Amino acid sequence: MTPELRFQGCIPANLLPFTRDLEIDEPAYRAHMRWLADAPGVTGIVANGHAAEVSSLTREERKRALAIGVDEVAGKVPVIAGVYSDGTREAVELARDARAAGAAGLLVFPPTVFMWGAQLKPDMVLRHFSELADGVDLPLIVFEYPPASGIGYGPETLAALCKIPTVAGVKDWSNDIVAYEKNLRALRASGRPVAMLSSFTMSLMASFTLGADGCISGMGSVAADLQAALLAAVKAGRLEEARALNDRLAPLVSVFYAPPFVDMHNRMKEALASLGRIPAAHVRPPLTPVSDDERHRIRLALREARLTREGAAR
């Protein structure tokens, strides 16, 4: 299998609503997935990613969450499944679960063991992805972490990964515009249609302007339509319009990604609850709910961005 460039445009990573007793809230989750699939400019959805608190989900919950999402979206856009595991063998099993549930592709997280040497031993990375490619016939999206994390791949490693026929994209969360540009050049020089999917949400316009086929963003769960409009404006060269859209996204970026960074998705859930898109912003431990003061700041940011229950007010 040698996939063509399939993944482009705005691909939000869904948040996962929970009930008060921290079980998956299926009606709220279905409504959220429906909103994402119907949002203008959305071309795909990532399930079982960081935004869905994947590290708190059991294997059975991951299977159920993906199955619900695929069923609700009903083919309107492809659903990409996150593969979050510290071991290659388990990653292959999770990937097979995802294929059985109808996933259109896989977003492959780096095992945490990579922080102990993957930058010096790229053969570890190549082995992990090669075994996934051999084990499951689905397009793979490489999840690129910040270089400072120790888990991020260098551009040479990304270039080597691009030689694997089923590698179809890179979700670039390098959070370093110099690293992003080097990674982009590595992808473009690979001779294969490997998509650059920016996850540089704190500076999305900059990464779009350098060149991107699309984006994968947890913040897309709140503002997918604004992100898609920004991408379209940049691609069309309408920079004044793009700057105006970027200005609307700025208060959301500021409030969601404020320190501590670990609370970003808690805050996004709170935003969805404030907008009335989900009933409540319950999160699983060790995550903790936002404070009343932070909840107030989130509501102010939503107002400044002109977001409504339906989406971005024009």
Q: Is 90 exceeded by the pLDDT of residue 119?
A: no
Percent of the chain whose pLDDT exceeds 90 = 92
Measured CA to CA in angstroms, residue 179 lies from 163, 165, 173, 255, 303 at distances of 20, 24, 10, 25, 34
Residue with tokens 């500021």: 254
Q: Is 80 exceeded by the pLDDT of residue 93?
A: yes
Q: What is the pTM of this model?
A: 0.96
Average pLDDT over residues 255-284: 97
- Decide: helix, strand or coil at residue 142: strand
pLDDT of residue 149: 87
- The model's pLDDT over 131-185, given as tens digits with 9 standing for 90+, comes to 999 999 999 999 999 988 888 999 999 999 999 999 999 999 999 999 999 999 9
Give 113's pLDDT tier (boundaries 50, 70, 90).
confident
- Do the beta carbons of residue 43 and residue 77 sit within 8 Å? yes
How far apart are the two ends of the chain, measured CA to CA in Å?
43
CATH architecture assignment, domain 9-242: Alpha-Beta Barrel (3.20)
Give 314's pLDDT tier (boundaries 50, 70, 90).
confident
Q: What is the DSSP letter of 189?
A: T
- Do the beta carbons of residue 169 and residue 139 sit within 8 Å? yes
Give 4's pLDDT tier (boundaries 50, 70, 90).
low
Please give the single-letter amino acid code of residue 10: C
Q: Is 70 exceeded by the pLDDT of residue 2?
A: no
pLDDT of residue 171: 98
- The model's pLDDT over 215-231, given as tens digits with 9 standing for 90+, comes to 999 999 999 999 999 99
Chain-wide mean pLDDT for the chain? 95
Give the Cα separation of 310 and 313 in Å (integer).
8
Q: Distance between alpha carbon 4 and the CA centroid of its chain, in Å?
A: 20
